[in-house]
A = this chain, B = another copy of it.
Amino acid sequence: MKKTTAGSLKPRKTPAQRRSAVTVDVIFEATIQVLLAHGFDQTTTTRIAERAGVSVGSVYQYFPNKRALLAAVVRRHIAEVVSAGVAACESVHGATLREMCSAAVSAFVDAKTRRPEVSRALYLPAAAVGADLIVREESMRSVRAVHAMLITAADAQFSQPAIVSQVLVTSVIGPMQAAIESGGGAPVFAALKQHLTALCAGYAKEMSRPN
């Protein structure tokens, strides 16, 4: 990244037409591929275009600059993962604490490990682009969903549900990331689910009063 020109991060045109939507997808996928194959600093717009089978000019037709492109890729990935988590949370309103933790953790791990390489590839871009904002926004969605879920718990009551939600969401990411980086496969992820469920449930129990 050269200058982080601080320009707009929003895509340039909404892909109204069919063709456009396809092109954007191709560019997204190419970006991830290049990121994985060449690493962050070798990820140039030209290379992305090449890999996508379009010209650099075309890339700039859809994104005002490189940052915007990376941001969009990051946003899409995070949004997917978060949405899965949010849906899981909503589906267990009214359940017990342990059921809630198990369901949410499971959904999160599944979503995140569906394409583990993608998570790895996007780690640096997310930080380097001003995607912190995006990450924060999406995290908020998770936190809110967890919050909304917790207060419906059948077997407990929280005095600080907001803070607890925040800690729950952020504490789960580290072990997740570590597991992905370590290159572990399905069995590792299965074990991870159990441990993260215990982590969340244990903490939730500590911070709540039985109902």
Residues of A within 8 A of B (CB): 1-4, 39-42, 123-124, 127-128, 132, 136, 163-164, 166-167, 170-175, 177-178, 181, 191, 195-196, 198-199, 201-207
How close is A204's CB to chain B, nearest CB, in angstroms? Answer: 8
Given the interface pairs A123-B127, A203-B203, the reply to whether A166 lies near B175 with Cβ below 8 Å is yes
Residues of B close to A203: CB separation below 8 A: 195, 198-199, 202-203
Q: A1-B41, A172-B174, A198-B207 are in contact. List 17 more A-B contacts (CB 8 A).
A: A4-B40, A4-B41, A127-B128, A163-B195, A166-B175, A166-B178, A170-B174, A170-B175, A170-B178, A171-B199, A173-B174, A195-B203, A199-B202, A199-B206, A202-B203, A202-B205, A203-B203
B175 touches A167 (CB 8 A): yes
Oligomer copy total: 4
How close is A185's CB to chain B, nearest CB, in angstroms? Answer: 16
Residues of B close to A181: CB separation below 8 A: 132, 136
How close is A194's CB to chain B, nearest CB, in angstroms? Answer: 9
A41 touches B2 (CB 8 A): yes
Closest to A207 in B: B198
